[in-house]
Amino acid sequence: MVRIFSFTIKRVYLYRHLGRVTGNCMRERLRIFFSLFVFWMVFFSLTRWLFLAYNYQLTSQLTAVEILKTCLYGLVMDASMTGYFTLISGLFLITSVFHQSKLSTALFIGINFALLLVSGLVVVVDFELYRHWGFRMNTAPFFYMGSEAAGTVDALVVLRLLLLLTGITGLATYTFVKLVGKKFQLQRPNYNWPTFFALTAIICALIIPIRGSFSVSTMNVSRVYYHKSKSYANHAGINVVWNFLYSLQTDNELIYPENFFDKTLSEKYFKELYPESDSTTIRLINTARPNILLIILEGITAEVIEPLGGRPGVMPNLNSLCKEGILFDHFYANGDRTDKGLVSLLAAFPAQPRGSIIKYPQKTQQLGFLSSSLEKLGYTTSFVYGGDVDFANYRSFLTNGRFAHITTVDDFPDELDAFKWGVHDEYVYHQTLLEIDSTNKQPFFKTVLTLSSHEPFRVPMPAKISGTDEASKYMNACYYADKALGDFIKVAKEKNWWKNTLVIITADHGHRLPGMKKPETHEKFHIPMVWTGGVIVRDTVIKTFANQTDLANTLLGQLERPDPKFRFSKDIFAANAQDFAIYIFNDGYGYLTPYLYAVYDNPGRHYLISQGNMQEESLNRAKAYIQTLYSDYNSKR
């Protein structure tokens, strides 16, 4: 008791002594420091409320208590970002004890204005991007920047974001100058060493909110993850400026963990997912070396395909093809973007939870390619695309895949390049017909990648589906894409080469529309795959759960035998093919079997969705898949 009393007396004495020594100099600078800290905390907190308001459709799915908890949990990450920004300004406060000038005041205000501008820009861009991508802003948009990407954003959306940016930064700048900047300007140097040391100690103490804890664990996004099933509640708690700046530091040296799951068990369970197989039990084509035409439709989801349980009347031609060919009704995209879909379909390599392997040509050149395997079987290979093939490193990827000929937007007449992404589907199909008719080299493997069903959903035909909302525009674009496809198939059936051709129609990825699907749910990744053409023996429906990566060995199984180099690809028609599918979203994955549906969130380290037979053995197979993917990706240097 005596010790506690003595300690208290000493603290009171030191405080009074410090006040006498430092005087107004200390008090005023402390006011500036705390005003600055509170300013940034309020700024980040208000921008979170704006994020919730902007994404009101998703926010409406949260309860009032969940919204409040999201904001409260987010304060920890806000404090970390605030600590960084206050630390920068705090250095000016320390130096002001010995030196103060108009230049230092201008720098103090200017640096904070720059931080506000960058923060405001990240915040408002994130408002819109989250609606499309389902994860908070990081460096990924830089990879897709360009005139084509800009074309996906409607002019009204750009205007709205600019107005928001102007309002947020303008109001924040005015508040900062009024409450902080003018007070700093009035400070005068007094060469007071106690003030210097006291301020230095306080500024150094910012390491506490910056780190977020006293343990070995530093600040990370999982600190704001509190909800076990609603990922949006967790995502909204993330400080997007912190997330963006952190990704600048880490994405260039992306290495996945080697300890996500036990390596020995990973090998065991992965072999169970992909048992060795060199025989196909079902033959669905009538010739050994058919021509192969792979059509990859932009962003088509199962929800617009009636035979897959989707809405009637959106894609009538594809609906008919489903009934006259081979329909795979449990087919899932591996990822959520075109670049990931191309890698999965053409190289049988899955999407990754963060980033995309297509970004690194030194890695993609180490992949196996379906085109290369077919080339060894005597096929000529080509790729037709109505857009910019340099977008997102497509050219390097296709070149590594040894495609003999690549058609791009530059090969079309300038007047056809009227769509913001490039050339519309009908002209791409016309070019495809010209190329097939003009060459006598058979068998051929030709891949066609379409564009017209991409945002902003503007197509060269009158609207067939009423409504001006985003979902209606998307379905109108799907209707046009289907019409162009149907017209192409109708003409192709009259060609001599049709009777010896296998046509495979699928999508590069699914879509959040219609219905604003959550980014982690399987409905967003459910896509069509239909086999048709003159070589099809019979129409049927394949019920096996499968992925885009499974196309390679399934196709090779029909031609000759599956290739073991495609380790993430199963022959769907093999007797021992395992009935499962895995899709990967930003830092998480979904696992599907006929008896199980599980969605795992990596930052939160828990299952967002757990339905069906959640046996540890089954869940471990999915973890083994992810660990094998991590290690395989890391090994490609």
**Domain assignment present for 10:** no
Segment 67-93, tens digit of pLDDT:
999 999 999 999 999 999 999 988 888
User: How sure is the predictor about 571, in pLDDT bands with cuts at 50, 70 and 90?
Assistant: very high
Q: Let me know: does 454 contact 513? Beta carbons within 8 Å.
A: no
Segment 357-382, tens digit of pLDDT:
998 888 999 999 999 999 999 999 99
Based on the domain organization, do 453 and 571 belong to the same domain? yes
Phi, psi dihedral angles at 592 (to 5 degrees): -130, 135
Based on the domain organization, do 426 and 559 belong to the same domain? yes
Region of 164 (left: φ > 0; alpha: ψ -120 to 50; beta: rest) is alpha
Alpha-carbon dihedral angle through residues 108, 136, 602, 212, given to the nearest 10 degrees: 20
Token output for 200: 């230095």
Q: Let me know: does 332 contact 592? Beta carbons within 8 Å.
A: yes
**Domain assignment present for 260:** no
Based on the domain organization, do 182 and 322 belong to the same domain? no
Residue 525: closest CA among 315, 300, 318: 300
User: How sure is the predictor about 495, in pLDDT bands with cuts at 50, 70 and 90?
Assistant: very high
Based on the domain organization, do 249 and 287 belong to the same domain? no
Angle between helices 316-324 and 470-492 (to 10 degrees): 50
Query: Looking at residue 283, what is its pLDDT?
Result: 87
Query: Looking at residue 108, what is its pLDDT?
Result: 87
More confident residue, 252 or 43: 43
Instruction: Give how many domains the chain has, as a whole number.
Output: 2
For residue 572, the domain's CATH number is 3.40.720.10
Segment 443-475, tens digit of pLDDT:
999 999 999 999 999 999 999 998 999 999 999
Based on the domain organization, do 359 and 421 belong to the same domain? yes
pLDDT at 332 over 60: yes
pTM of model > 0.95: no
Neighbouring C-beta atoms of residue 566, cutoff 10 Å? 24
More confident residue, 477 or 153: 477
Average pLDDT of 242-263? 86
pLDDT at 1 over 60: no
User: How sure is the predictor about 15, in pLDDT bands with cuts at 50, 70 and 90?
Assistant: very low
- Domain range for 85 is 20-253
Based on the domain organization, do 249 and 323 belong to the same domain? no
The DSSP letter of residue 520 is: T
Domain termination site, one of 253, 285, 305: 253
Query: Looking at residue 515, what is its pLDDT?
Result: 87
Based on the domain organization, do 334 and 217 belong to the same domain? no
Q: Reduce the DSSP state of residue 354 to 3 states and report it.
A: coil
**Domain assignment present for 295:** yes
Give 563's Cβ-side CA count (13 Å radius).
21
Alpha-carbon distance of 389 to 361, in angstroms, equals 14
User: How sure is the predictor about 140, in pLDDT bands with cuts at 50, 70 and 90?
Assistant: confident
Phi, psi dihedral angles at 388 (to 5 degrees): -80, 110
**Domain assignment present for 30:** yes
Based on the domain organization, do 194 and 222 belong to the same domain? yes
Domain termination site, one of 253, 285, 318: 253
Domain termination site, one of 219, 253, 287: 253
**Domain assignment present for 574:** yes
Q: Let me know: does 450 contact 407? Beta carbons within 8 Å.
A: no
pLDDT at 284 over 80: yes
Based on the domain organization, do 240 and 289 belong to the same domain? no
**Domain assignment present for 492:** yes
Residue 445's alpha-carbon distances to 321, 427, 434, in angstroms, are 20, 20, 15
Residue 155's alpha-carbon distances to 159, 160, 518, 633, in angstroms, are 6, 9, 25, 39
Based on the domain organization, do 136 and 170 belong to the same domain? yes
Q: Let me know: does 285 contact 535? Beta carbons within 8 Å.
A: yes
Based on the domain organization, do 208 and 333 belong to the same domain? no
Phi, psi dihedral angles at 459 (to 5 degrees): -125, 155
Query: Looking at residue 598, what is its pLDDT?
Result: 97
**Domain assignment present for 259:** no
Alpha-carbon distance of 362 to 500, in angstroms, equals 37
Based on the domain organization, do 318 and 248 belong to the same domain? no
Q: Let me know: does 67 contact 196? Beta carbons within 8 Å.
A: no
Token output for 13: 């004495």
Q: Reduce the DSSP state of residue 465 to 3 states and report it.
A: coil
